[in-house]
Amino acid sequence: MRMNRVKIIFIICALFFSCILSTKAQKVFSLNPLFTEQDAVLIPKIEGSWTMPVFDWTMSLKKAGDNFYHFFDDIDDPTYGHEAAFVNINSKLLIDLSGILPGNLGDADFRKSFLPCHSIYKTKISDDTLFISSLNYSWFFNYAVKKKLPLEFEWVSNGMLLTYSTEELQSFLAEHINEEGIFDDPGIIIVDNDHFVEEKDIIPDNSGFNPTVSLSQKCAPSFPFINGWLGGDGDVSVLINDTTTVFIFSDTYVGSKNQKSRQEPGMSMVANTLAIQKCSADGETDVHYYWNKMYADNPEPFFRSFTDRYKYWVVDAFMANSNLYVILSKIGPEFGSAPDNIFNFSGLGFTLAKIINPQDVPYDWKIELHPLPDFISATMELRCHTKQDEYIYFFISRNDTSQFVVRKQIDLIDNHERPFEYYALNKKWKQGIKSNDMFEIAKGFRCNSVNFHPGIKQWVMISDVRFMDNKIKMRTAPVLTGPWSDEIVIYEIPEVTPGNSLYRKSHFCYLAREHIQYYDANNHVMLLTYDTNNTNFSEILLSPKIYTPKIITIPLNKHVE
């Protein structure tokens, strides 16, 4: 047993989750989840309402987020619910349940004092019947106490709390899952009551808009402090039609409706926001910002993860078949982070958001979230994209040292059953994702944008800015698979260049990218944005020039032979 843990935290943790699927007083919980973002699986036929005949008790399961479900044990009172994630271990389907604290329960500090624990069940669906069996306390007691076999756990008031890491827990169950008695037998029988019937999506009339046509935007982008929007980073943009661009931001400062300064009370941060920028006939840009629960005490991001385990930052976005697709990065805490680490977060994977009606007002958008389990930061990190013919291509960054490329047919981009293809060592496309067989397209730092420029007949890649560096770099290639040129410096960032009037030692800049819809084809001038941040929060509060997208123009011909 691990004895170097603070037991009171475990007790609070265990009491937080009330096990509704077990009639036994003593239970087995887990401190850590049984699943990772990569191995959680979707079970479409689980969605619906289910009835436990013995108790005449009806519960519901419905997809939430990209790869898990919300489980409510009382269909008439959804106040108290659970996150439900499924995982396959040795061909057995297991479900991991963890309680969700009601959103109106206490402030942030109070809520963070509770650690959600996990209950694990063996699950089987046969026709319209759901069989559920919980971990058997007697088996675990016998294993650890009578047999004195090694088991990492703590005692809690109503049972045992396993303290294995997720990987260790998966290994332990894989080793013992077929042993008699590890799960209650026969378990609980639940009968299918009714499947959810989703409303058919109404496809908007996009006549006159062909996303395969290269459109340009005549207005310059603008990021004013209006509508309570007080600065953000990320700056991904997509041309929706010939007058409209949507910008999507990651972490964003927001405030009250008329607030125009970060120094006023009421400011908070949400994980992502967006701006709709419309270009009028006279060349003026009209900007409107959006996020959920605008001007409420607890504002929420536009793209919600529906879990406290991670939030969404934006990586890239594109139009395809009149749909808007957004690549979102799952951002969770970095465990064991040093107290002075400003990058105290970690990437947990990626999600594809699909919006079928991007021409409508954003609050009316129909958003579907699809998991992308093949990719994970930082060993297989999705970065920039481009489209060519019937394919969409994604550049992959491995530990910020190498770049690879994968692709998928555009018409199949949200089809989970059709795999990606990767560019292999033999310089052919192969199905699946095999990192040890991928051809290195280019060495060096990750890319943020890649676009084809017909005027020079070259693909142009804009690289991200290394931490505390002052250079924005570009590389070119005649074809997507290379050969790619060495990086060349196209801009020195004044905010991080010593001697410049804008320089501050605590500044750092990142996320340089080209916005192709603003390209001036007549004069061969690119429009780029980048973000400026500061390690000193007081500096961010004082200056609206920090943490607001910077707009620059770069003559392309000057940097291409």
Q: Is the pLDDT of residue 385 over 80?
A: yes
Q: What is the mean pLDDT of residues 260-282?
A: 92
Here the tokens at position 140 are: 């675990």
pTM, two decimals, is 0.88
- In the chain, % of residues over pLDDT 90: 69
Of 114-118, 177-181, 200-204, minimum mean pLDDT range: 200-204
Q: Which of 184-188, 219-223, 339-343, 550-554 has the lowest mean pLDDT?
A: 184-188
pLDDT at 185: 72
Lowest pLDDT segment from 19-23, 380-384, 423-427: 19-23
Summarised one tens digit per residue, pLDDT across range 410-424 is 999 988 889 999 999
pLDDT over 80 (residue 78): no
Band of residue 558 on the pLDDT scale cut at 50, 70, 90: confident
On whether the CB atoms of residues 206 and 144 are closer than 8 A, the answer is no
H or E stretch at 140: helix 137-141
Residue 470 pLDDT exceeds 80: yes
**Rounded Cα gap, residues 344 and 336, in angstroms:** 9
Q: Determine the average pLDDT of the residues in 487-509.
A: 95
Residue 221 has pLDDT above 50, yes or no: yes
Position 212 confidence tier, pLDDT thresholds 50, 70, 90: very low
Report the pLDDT value the prediction gives residue 505, as an integer from 0 to 100: 94
Q: What is the DSSP string of 455-514?
A: TTTEEEEEEPPPTT--EEEEEEESSTTSPPPPPEEEEE-GGGSTTSTT--TTEEEEEEEE
**Rg value, the chain, Cα:** 26
Whether 192 has a pLDDT exceeding 70, the answer reads no
Alpha helix ranges (H) inside 177-317: none
Residues in the chain: 561
Burial class (CB in 10 A: 0-12, 13-18, 19+), 522: exposed
Structure confidence at residue 80 (pLDDT): 78
Q: Which helix (H) or strand (E) holds 57?
A: strand 57-64
**Highest mean pLDDT: which of 16-25, 122-131, 343-352?**
343-352
Name the band, by pLDDT with cuts 50, 70 and 90, for residue 56. confident
Mean pLDDT of the chain: 87
**Does residue 87 sit in helix, strand or coil?**
strand
Residues contacting 438, CB < 8 A, separation 6+: 396, 404, 422, 423, 424, 425
pLDDT value at 202 more than 60: no
Q: Which residue has the higher pLDDT, 74 or 266?
A: 266
E strands in 311-427: 311-320, 323-333, 345-355, 367-371, 381-388, 391-398, 402-409, 421-423
Is pLDDT above 50 for 391? Answer: yes
The pLDDT of residue 158 is 79
Q: Is the pLDDT of residue 75 over 60?
A: yes
**Cis amide bond preceding 204, omega within 30:** no
In contact, 326 and 312? CB cutoff 8 Å? no
Q: What is the pLDDT of residue 21?
A: 47
